[in-house]
Amino acid sequence: MRSLMVQGTGSNVGKSLLVAGICRALSNRGLKVAPFKPQNMSNNAAVTVDGGEIGRAQALQARACRLEPMTDMNPVLLKPESETGSQIILQGKRFATAKARDYSALKPKLMPYVLESFNRLKNQFDIVIAEGAGSPAEINLRKDDIANMGFALAADVPVLLTGDIDRGGIIAQLVGTDVILDPSDKKMIFGFVVNKFRGDPSLFDDGYRFIENKTGWAGFGILPYFEDAWKLPAEDALDIASPKKQGKPHIVCLGLSRIANFDDLDPLSNDPNLQVTILKSGQTIPTDAALVILPGSKSTRGDLKFLRKQGWDIDIIAHHRRGGYILGICGGYQMLGHDVADPEGIEGPCGTIPGLGLLDVRTTMSQKKALTLVTAIHEVTGEEVTGYEIHIGQTKGHDCQRPFARIDGTAEGARSKDGRVMGSYLHGLFSNDAFRSAFLEEMDISASSLNYEVSIETTLDELALHIEENLSMDKLIAVAR
C-alpha cells in the first residue's frame, strides 16, 4: 500500500485540483486509489455514505477515484463560524467549537484520529493521495501540526510540493519554502511541480533548473493552466467563476460572509443559457434578476445581520414586488421566515433575530444536526430530486403546508401563497437535470440540455489526460511509499 502527499507553497495554488487529477489518472490506470486530507477548513461540506461530513474538495476527489465519499478521507474539518472560531468536525461528526488559539492545544489529541483514518484507507487501497493545507512553511503553525509536515513525518508519506506560477514569484515560493523548512521536514520532499503555467513552458527552463539546483528536489513537470477548471466544484466561494453570458436569464446569489455549500450553484453556472452572479459586499441586486438565491450559511443569524448591512433586505423586497422569484436553501431558507431563534447559543450568543418575513415560518436552532442523503419529489413539477441535508434547526409555520418537496410523502420546505418565495433544506437540487429544467421553466427561464453529471465526469477525464501529458506520472508512482 503506497501513499504520497501534495503540499503547496500557499493556499489556492491548485493542490485540490492537482490531487483530483492525479486520482483520476491513477484510477484510469486501473489502480484502487483514495484521496485523503488530514485537516481541511471549509464551509463547503459533503454528506458521506457513512453518515458524516467532509470537505467538498475531498468529495470531488473521491469522485475522481470513482468512490463514494467517506469520513476517513477528511478526518478533521474546520467550519468557520466567526473571524476567530470554528466548529470542529472529527471523523464526520461534530466534536467541538474552538477559537483559533484553543484549537492549537487540541491538535495533539486529534493526530491519533488522523492516523487512524489514514491507515484504514491504506489498508483498503493500492495508493492514497494526500493533500496538505496552506503551506508547510508557516512556522507559526508547525508545532503539533497535523495538516502538512507533522502528518507527513508521523505517517512517513513523501511530499510533492507545488507552486503557482500564475500568481508570480514561483522561484521564491519554492526556494523560499526550502530555506524555511527544518531539515527533518525538507527530507520528506522528493520533488516539485510548477502549476498553472501559461504560454511556452520552454521559457521557464532556466528557472526550472535553478529551482532543482538550489533545492536538490527533482522537477516533476510544468503543468499548463487547465482552462476548464471552472466546470468543477470549487471549494472556496472566491473561486467560483464561469464565462460571462450577457443577455441570458440572470440568476443572482447573495455572497454571504459565511456562505456554505455554494456548489449548489455549479450546475447553474455551467449552463450556457444562464448568467449567474454571486453578489459581493457593497453590490446591489440587479433589476434584471429573474431569480435571487439565498444560499446556505454557517451562521444564519450572523449572515442575516451581514445581509441587512449590505441593504440586500431592501433589494429582496423590491425584487419580490417586481414579480421576481426567491429561493432560500438551508440557512437561506431560515432567513426568509419571521425570525431565527437560538435559545442554546449554538451559533453565537443566545437570542432571537428577525428574518425577512417573506415566508410564514419560524426557525429554532437545536443541537441535533441533520446529515442525510435524500431522494425527494418536487411538489410543483413532480420531478425527482436526489440531494442531501446538512443543517441544524427546525423550521415550522403555515407556509410549510405548501411544501417545496416531499420525502417519502413527508412535507419538506415551504412556499409562499403566490408561489414566488420558496425555501428548502435540500442541497444539490440543481445537479438533477430534469428538475433544474422544469423548475426554471416555471419562472419562464429556459435552461439548456446540459447533462451536469456527464460534464463533471468528462472534465475529470480531461484533467487526468492533462496531467498524464505534462507530469512524470510513472516517477510519481515509483516515489510513493
Q: Which of 101-110, 176-185, 296-305 is the least confident region?
A: 101-110
Find the mean pLDDT for residues 437-466: 96
CATH number at residue 175: 3.40.50.300
Q: Known catalytic residues? A: 330, 427
Q: pLDDT tens digit string along 252-280?
A: 999 999 999 988 999 999 999 999 999 99
Q: Quick check: 153 and 183 in contact, CB under 8 A?
A: no
State whether the Cα torsion 397-399-404-405 is positive or negative. Answer: positive
pLDDT at 75: 98
Within a domain: residue 240?
no
Within a domain: residue 421?
yes
Q: Which amino acid is at 9?
A: T
Q: pLDDT tens digit string along 156-208?
A: 999 999 999 999 999 999 999 999 999 999 999 999 999 999 999 999 999 99
Mean pLDDT across the chain: 94
- Over 60: is that where the pLDDT of 239 sits? no
C-alpha cell at 157: 508519506
Split at pLDDT 50, 70, 90, the class of 104 is confident
Q: Are residues 369 and 348 in the same domain?
A: yes
Number of domains in the chain: 2
Q: Are residues 196 and 276 in the same domain?
A: no
Range of the domain at 208: 2-229+458-479
pLDDT at 102: 85
pLDDT at 479: 94
CATH number at residue 272: 3.40.50.880
Q: pLDDT tens digit string along 344-390?
A: 988 888 999 999 999 999 999 998 888 999 999 999 999 999 999 99
Q: Are residues 197 and 273 in the same domain?
A: no
Within a domain: residue 451?
no
Which SS3 state, helix, strand or coil, does residue 467 take? Answer: helix
Q: What are the start-end ranges of the H helices in 123-256?
A: 149-155, 170-180, 183-186, 205-215
- Over 80: is that where the pLDDT of 112 sits? yes
Split at pLDDT 50, 70, 90, the class of 416 is very high
Find the mean pLDDT for residues 76-100: 87
Q: Are residues 184 and 328 in the same domain?
A: no
- Over 70: is that where the pLDDT of 245 sits? no
- Of 50, 47, 52, 18, nearest to 35 (Cα)? 18
User: What's the count of helices (H) and strands (E) in the chain, helices before strands?
Assistant: 14, 26
Which SS3 state, helix, strand or coil, does residue 29 take? Answer: coil
Q: Are residues 440 and 469 in the same domain?
A: no
Within a domain: residue 17?
yes
- Give the dihedral of Cα atoms 202, 231, 460, 115; nearest 10 deg: 100
Spatial separation of the C-alpha atoms in residues 235 and 239, rounded to whole Å = 7
Within a domain: residue 234?
no
Q: Are residues 31 and 109 in the same domain?
A: yes
Q: Which of 50-54, 238-242, 390-394 is the least confident region?
A: 238-242
| Percent of the chain residues past pLDDT 90, beyond the cut | 87
Q: Are residues 128 and 186 in the same domain?
A: yes
Which SS3 state, helix, strand or coil, does residue 83 take? Answer: coil
Q: Which of 53-67, 115-129, 224-238 is the least confident region?
A: 224-238
- Of 412, 417, 442, nearest to 358 (Cα)? 417
pLDDT at 411: 97
C-alpha cell at 466: 492533462
Q: Are residues 350 and 325 in the same domain?
A: yes
Within a domain: residue 450?
no
Q: Are residues 322 and 208 in the same domain?
A: no
Spatial separation of the C-alpha atoms in residues 1 and 240, rounded to whole Å = 35
Within a domain: residue 261?
yes
Most confidently modeled range among 97-111, 245-259, 397-411:
397-411
- Over 90: is that where the pLDDT of 122 sits? yes
Q: Are residues 75 and 218 in the same domain?
A: yes
- Over 90: is that where the pLDDT of 17 sits? yes
- Over 60: is that where the pLDDT of 2 sits? yes
- Over 80: is that where the pLDDT of 241 sits? no
Q: Are residues 181 and 271 in the same domain?
A: no
Split at pLDDT 50, 70, 90, the class of 240 is low
Within a domain: residue 236?
no
- Of 222, 117, 118, nearest to 162 (Cα)? 222
Q: pLDDT tens digit string along 27-72?
A: 999 999 999 999 999 989 999 998 999 999 999 999 999 999 999 9
Which SS3 state, helix, strand or coil, does residue 58 take? Answer: helix
Q: Are residues 302 and 375 in the same domain?
A: yes
Name the pTM for this structure: 0.92
- Over 60: is that where the pLDDT of 455 sits? yes
Which SS3 state, helix, strand or coil, does residue 452 take? Answer: helix
Split at pLDDT 50, 70, 90, the class of 477 is very high
pLDDT at 262: 87
Using alpha carbons only, how large is the chain's radius of gyration in Å? 23
Which SS3 state, helix, strand or coil, does residue 471 take? Answer: strand
pLDDT at 237: 54
423's enclosing H/E stretch is strand 421-424
